[in-house]
Each structure stands twice: as C-alpha cells, then as structure tokens.
Amino acid sequence: MDRLIENINRYTLLNEHETRLLQSAVEKKVYQKNELIFTEGRIADEIYFVTEGCVRLFYNVDGNDRTAFFYSEGQFICAGESYTYDIPAIENYQAVEPTELFIFRKANIEPLLKEVPRFEVIARIATENELIASQKMIASFVTKSAEERYIDLLNTQGELFLRVPQQYIASFLGVSPETLSRIKTRVFAKRNS
C-alpha cells in the first residue's frame, strides 16, 4: 500500500481521510509465476497497480500468443476499451514472476470518484501514465527496427532480461527466438568492441 500512496502523493497529497478511503477500496493480491491475472473475452472491471513483480500483456492470434508489453513496479494496468465501454476484452495479463498487485474494482472506485473530487485527479494521472506508456510503444513500433527496440529495452528496462523468458522478449520484438539470438550477438559484439 505504501508504494501506491507514495506514487499518488508525488502528484497530489492525500489527507488521512482520503488515504483511508483509498485503502478501503483497493485489494492486494499475490500471483504466482506464470499465473494468469486476466484473460480475453471477459469484461474488464478492474484496474491494477503493480507493487512487485512483472506483468506481461499478450494477445492471442489463432492460438499463438503475441507479447505486446511488460508492466513493472509503479505502473497502472487497464484494458481501457473493455473497462470503459463494458465490452469483452482482447487483452491477456500474466504474471511472469511472483507478482503483487493492488486491484481497484470498478464497483468500489466509481462511488469514490463521485464523492471525493481528488480521486478524479488520481484517475486522470493513472490514465495519463498508461497513455504515455502506450504512445511510447507506438512510436517505437513505427520508428524503430527490432534491433533498436532491443537496445531500448536493454537501456530502459535492462533488469527485465534477468526476469522474463527469452521467447517473450522475442515475441515483444516481433522476431523469432533465433533472430533474437543473432540480434544479441551483434549488440554485445558492438558493445565489447
């Protein structure tokens, strides 16, 4: 809970009453490595905040899973369209290591948003954070090669490489595991030369 409150207080200071209200509205849950947190076809009625661990977003394409993103500590996760419009989601979220999440259920959060205007600020900031992550991902898809995206990942989320199975990294880059091996060899040869 501390990490969540700390994260929120970076933007807007909650008073004691607001902090207690927030604490009563969220729920902590621990997931095992590889456990599915949310699967496609359901209507998303929860927003997640990662306090520990790593969550993989993947889509199912004809039975093959395609990794789109890794969320780590301090990030909010929401299947936006499903949550907003109550339609079945296409997103799957999976813990790729032991992971602890705070869960905001829509049914608990909506009354709070009505009662306490400050929570609207928090909801906007959480949404902004996810928007920024999404826009960066799009820019990276549009402007960069797989090798450049690999180097970015190494520079910005280097610790992920120790934690996430390599086939997920390959799928995130849109390449085969063999191509990922070749990219790695090239990148590290350049770094060490």
Binding-site ranges for its own copies (CB under 8 A): 59, 61, 66-69, 78-81, 84, 90-91, 117, 120-121, 123-124, 127-128, 130-132, 134-139, 141-143, 174
How far is C-alpha 89 from the chain's CA centre?
A: 15
User: Token pair of 126, please?
Assistant: 């959480």
**In terms of CB distance, is 28 or 143 closer to its own copies?**
143
**In terms of CB distance, is 52 or 120 closer to its own copies?**
120
**In terms of CB distance, is 4 or 57 closer to its own copies?**
57
**Measured from the CB of residue 89, what is the shortest distance to its own copies in angstroms?**
10
**In terms of CB distance, is 68 or 100 closer to its own copies?**
68
DSSP 8-state code for residue 75: -
Contact 181, 147 (CB under 8 A): no
**Measured from the CB of residue 25, what is the shortest distance to its own copies in angstroms?**
17
Residue 48: closest CA among 83, 21, 86, 10:
83
**Measured from the CB of residue 177, what is the shortest distance to its own copies in angstroms?**
17
DSSP 8-state code for residue 189: H
DSSP 161-187: HHHS-HHHHHHHHTS-HHHHHHHHHHH
**In terms of CB distance, is 174 or 177 closer to its own copies?**
174
Largest Cα separation within the chain, whole Å, is 60
User: Token pair of 65, please?
Assistant: 């899973």
**Measured from the CB of residue 192, what is the shortest distance to its own copies in angstroms?**
26
**Measured from the CB of residue 141, what is the shortest distance to its own copies in angstroms?**
5
